[in-house]
Amino acid sequence: MLNQPLADRIRPKSLSDVAGDPKLFGEKGIFASMIASGYIPNMIFFGPSGTGKTTVANIIAEAAGKTLHKLNATTAGISDIKEVIADTSSLMGSGGVLLYLDEIQYFNKKQQQSLLEFLENGKITLIASTTENPYFYVYNALLSRSTVFEFKALTAEETLPAVLRALDIVRSRSPLPLTWEEEVPGLIAAGCGGDVRKAVNAVELLDRAARPVDGGLRITAADAAQAAQRSAMRYDREGDEHYDLLSALQKSIRGSDPDAAVYYLGRLLEAGDLLSPCRRLLVMAAEDVGLAYPQAMAVTKACVDAARELGLPEARLPLAEAAILLATAPKSNSAHNAIIAAMDDIRRGRVGQVPRHLQNVHADSTGSGKAPAYKYPHDYPHHYVAQRYLPEALGDVTYYQYGDNKTEQAARRYWEDIKKS
């Protein structure tokens, strides 16, 4: 099959050839034990593209002696599943269908509930796959009847054997002697972002672009680097990876690691996403640096404004400044904690009435009684006078706790001295 895609030609036929976690794919792994037992449960395979989800489903079906019926949830519906069941029953008798449903996250809740009926009556055994976290996208009742397996992105070392096999295949079918520079396999393996399919496709592309040299063909390291230049970027702005990168950026800054901060910022920017890191940096200036360095918000806002004015690629410069500033700044989440605590009380119904002396008495039309006099703080020493501001119903609740940083502790000492005098 000369026209068969290279990725299909090198697809593993046994679990031992599948790259990845030996606890899953090894001789003593869980899939091998499952095949040996002859029992195939309903399963959900969760992980990035090119990590072996479809391959493992094929291997399991082959070992079980069953035909694997494949549907993609982006285009299929419940009627397609019913059609598969009807066709299979009429041809082979009733014995259950092994169904591989790719991208199950695209089935809505109603479709997933309908799918549940077929699982419960035994008409299908489901192997579903998704690139998104199933605990967010798959109906709970379907999850409870399935076993979830996570397929992780492969390392360059785990990908390298597949790259070498692919290179051997293209060399064997090349009309002229095909060679490659020593660095080529490693560049392809490192540049695929843990996606074996992407790595194999890169080999196929490089084979067709190989340069004539001394009566043969040669794949150069420069071409391999070019082919792999952006392929390591796994990024979907609507997918989990987007939020994983933003989360890693914020946690790196919160953890005061400027190197990790600029790395994750670079991942986002290299993928062409400017708006998300701009917004997240502003959040971090308030949430994670906060009152420990109040000027951080103004500096970050200036950097974000400059980045949006400049656009990519120059936007990377002011955003890197902001990320490093926030990562190396003193930290405080006291303002974050204070507003969260206050709003939690409000949601629980702890509202109370605004004290009478704080009300807009000039707009009061009740005419009832005389309001207690509001004390104007600027008329008192240090612009402070003791009076009640919180509703009586809240008692002496405290929402704000001074952070243990120089700025907030200076403010604490300032007010303690004034209130003692």
Domains defined along the chain, listed by start: 20-150 (3.40.50.300), 156-227 (1.10.8.60), 240-328 (1.20.272.10), 334-362+370-420 (1.10.3710.10)
Q: Look at residue 195 in the predicted model and tell me its pLDDT.
A: 85
Q: DSSP code of 239?
A: S
Q: Look at residue 18 in the predicted model and tell me its pLDDT.
A: 87
Q: Look at residue 110 in the predicted model and tell me its pLDDT.
A: 87
* SS3 state of residue 71: strand
When pLDDT is cut at 50, 70 and 90, the band that residue 95 belongs to is: very low
State the average pLDDT for the chain: 87
5-9, 53-57, 199-203, 338-342 — which is least confidently predicted?
A: 5-9
Listing from the earlier edge strand, what are the strands of the sheet with 147-150? 68-72, 97-102, 124-130, 43-46, 147-150
Q: Look at residue 68 in the predicted model and tell me its pLDDT.
A: 87
Cβ-Cβ contacts under 8 Å for 187 (sequence gap 6 or more): 221, 224, 225, 228
Helix axis angle for 156-173 and 196-208, nearest 10°, is: 30
C-beta neighbour count of 139 within 10 angstroms: 19
When pLDDT is cut at 50, 70 and 90, the band that residue 401 belongs to is: very high
Helix residue ranges, H only, 312-390: 316-328, 334-347
Which tens digits make up the pLDDT trace of 141-180?
A: 899 999 999 998 888 888 898 899 999 999 998 889 999 9
Closest CA to 291 of 389, 412, 398: 412
Q: What mean pLDDT do residues 210-226 have?
A: 90
* 183-214 residues labelled b (16+ CB within 10 A) or e (exposed): ebbbbbbbbbbbbbbbbbbbbbebbeebeeee
pLDDT over threshold 60, residue 233: no
**Measured CA angle at 164 (ends 163, 170), to 5 deg:** 90
**301 burial class (0-12, 13-18, 19+ CB within 10 angstroms)?**
middle
Q: What mean pLDDT do residues 56-78 have?
A: 88
pLDDT over threshold 90, residue 124: no
SS (H, E, C) 168-218: HHHHHHCCCCEEECCCHHHHHHHHCCCCHHHHHHHHHHHHHCCEEECCEEE
Gap between the Cα atoms of 359 and 46, Å rounded: 57
Q: Look at residue 94 in the predicted model and tell me its pLDDT.
A: 42
Helix residue ranges, H only, 72-195: 78-92, 109-120, 134-137, 140-144, 156-173, 184-191
* SS3 state of residue 99: strand
Gap between the Cα atoms of 113 and 116, Å rounded: 5
Q: Look at residue 96 in the predicted model and tell me its pLDDT.
A: 59
pLDDT over threshold 80, residue 228: no
Q: Look at residue 214 in the predicted model and tell me its pLDDT.
A: 87
Which tens digits make up the pLDDT trace of 180-212?
A: 999 999 999 888 877 888 888 889 889 988 999
pLDDT over threshold 60, residue 86: yes
Which tens digits make up the pLDDT trace of 343-358?
A: 999 999 998 899 999 9
What is the share, in percent, of the chain residues with pLDDT greater than 70? 91
Which tens digits make up the pLDDT trace of 237-249?
A: 556 678 889 999 9
pLDDT over threshold 50, residue 90: no
Which tens digits make up the pLDDT trace of 256-292?
A: 999 999 999 999 998 888 889 999 999 999 999 999 9
Gap between the Cα atoms of 278 and 321, Å rounded: 12
What are the counts of helices (DSSP H) followed by strands (DSSP E) for the chain?
19, 8
Which tens digits make up the pLDDT trace of 358-375?
A: 988 655 555 555 557 899
Gap between the Cα atoms of 233 and 245, Å rounded: 11
- Cβ(212)–Cβ(226) under 8 Å? no
Whole-structure pTM over 0.75, yes or no? Answer: no
Q: What mean pLDDT do residues 69-82 have?
A: 88
